[in-house]
Every structure is written in structure tokens, then in C-alpha cells.
Amino acid sequence: MTIDPQTSSLTERILRQDRRLLIALLALLFCVSALYTVSGVGMNMSALEMTAMSGMRDMPGGAGPGAWSIVYLLLVFLMWWVMMVAMMLPSVAPTALLYGQLMRRSQSTPVRRVKLQVMAFVVGYLLSWAAFSLGATMVHWGAETSGAVSVTMMTLIHTPPGGVLLIGAGLFQFSELKKRCLQHCQSPVTFLTRHFRPGPYGALQLGLRHGIYCLGCCWALMILLFVGGVMNLYWITALAAYVAVEKLTVVGGILSKLAGATLVLWGSFVVIS
């Protein structure tokens, strides 16, 4: 059987265009999420304003602590979820693109379905962080109601509860759960081949499973947003960059331990002082 060179060349061009389109879609999703987070839609202040005033902790808000309407509750949930999307997409994008590459090489997957399955994978991944965001929203409401965080600044830095969170997140870096979940995140080829499911629904399940492993790896670090400020861009950027380096480099395991020790020492200093 001979292959027409023109047909082969056309197929290669389609595959390259398909990959570029996937990268463009992921980049667009990231940009929209980042802009939404920075603008602070529905919040008392934008993320830029809150970051500029990060040194203030007890600035009064316009409403009483915990006085959330259903609409505001939904807005806070969206704030958390979209922020997670912006923070986690850079670290999951290589896995999503690798999944698309594996699908393109599979003779049983039509080229036109590759984009659909990759986006289904991404949606499944983001659904796991939607669950985390719902839990974070409830914690956020409870912390504000109890007075642990202020209505506007939403920060625990330089406080004993903040120190305890730092210590807890640091200790988690040494846990077996952290180690196992990080190994899954650092070995995308092994994960994709071991848990592969055919079709768009299978891709959704695969993305959800990968998101659960990622959540198990990073949830304690994301909780630290309560320490530095839920909408503090310095903390958001630092945590997103750290997670990407931890998951995508060969030194991630060592870095995890160093970060854990640093967090424990920092938290202990905060609690003692």
C-alpha cells in the first residue's frame, strides 16, 4: 500500500493547525480567567486595588461580616473557581496537549474529534477544581462570619491562625499523599496510558481523575491564599508559578520538601511572635 505524498502533507498540515488551535484555545481560556480574576467581578475591590492595599488587614467593608446574599455567594464561588482556572491552566496545559498528541497518533480517533476530546479533558480537570472552589467558598464565608478574616482584605497573614495554616501546609508537603499525587502529575505519559478512556465522555472522566490527583497535590498550597489575601496578585502569581515548577520539572520532589520546611519555619515564627 502506497501513501500519496500530497495526502500525507495535507494530513501533517491539518495536525499542526489542530495543535495550534488547541494552544490558542487554552491561551484564550487562561487570558479570560486572568482578566476576570484581576478585575474582581462583583467583589468590593479589584485584585489590583486589594494587592496595592495588602498591608491593611482590618479595613471595614460595606456589609456586615458573613452577610452574603445568594448572588454574592455565587460571585465568590466564581471568583475562586476562575482564579483556580487561571492558576492551574499553565501546569495542566502540557498534559492536555500531550493527550491531544496521543489522540492524533491513534488511528481510531478522527482528527476532527481530537479538539473535542482535549477540551472535554480540560473541562473534567476544571470540574475537580470547581469542587475545591465550592469548599473554599464555604470556608471563606465561615471565616468571615467568625471574624477570622476581614470583609474586604480577606487575609490571615501575621496572625496565629495564619501561622497555623502555614505550618499545616508545610507539613503536608512531607506527606505520603502529597508524594503520590505529585508523582502522578509529574508522569503524564504514564497517567494517560494507564487511565485512558475512549471517546469524549472518557476524556471527561480522564480529566476529572487527573484533576483529583492535582487537587490532592496542591489543595494545601491553595489554602494559603487565605494567609496572604484571597485576591492578592503577588500570592496568586507566586503560588501558580511554584505549582507549575513543582509539577513540570525533575526537581519537583526536592523543591516540595524545601518549600515544606520553609513554610513550617515561617509559620512557627508567626505563631511564636
Interatomic CA distance for residues 25 and 173, integer angstroms: 33
Running DSSP on this structure, what letter comes out for residue 4? -
Residue 196 — very low, low, confident or very high, per pLDDT cuts 50/70/90? Answer: confident
**In contact, 173 and 259? CB cutoff 8 Å:** yes
pLDDT > 50? residue 40: yes
pLDDT for 182: 93
Mark out the alpha helices in the chain (DSSP H runs).
5-39, 47-52, 70-105, 111-146, 160-172, 176-186, 188-195, 199-223, 225-228, 233-248, 252-272
Interatomic CA distance for residues 206 and 228, integer angstroms: 33
Interatomic CA distance for residues 232 and 234, integer angstroms: 5
Residue with more model confidence, 149 or 92: 92
pLDDT for 50: 67
Q: Residue 55: phi, psi to the nearest 5?
A: -75, -15
pLDDT > 90? residue 62: no
Residue 198 — very low, low, confident or very high, per pLDDT cuts 50/70/90? Answer: confident
pLDDT digits (tens, 9 = 90+) for 72-119: 889 889 989 999 999 998 888 889 888 888 887 765 666 677 778 888
Statement: the pTM of the whole predicted model exceeds 0.75: yes
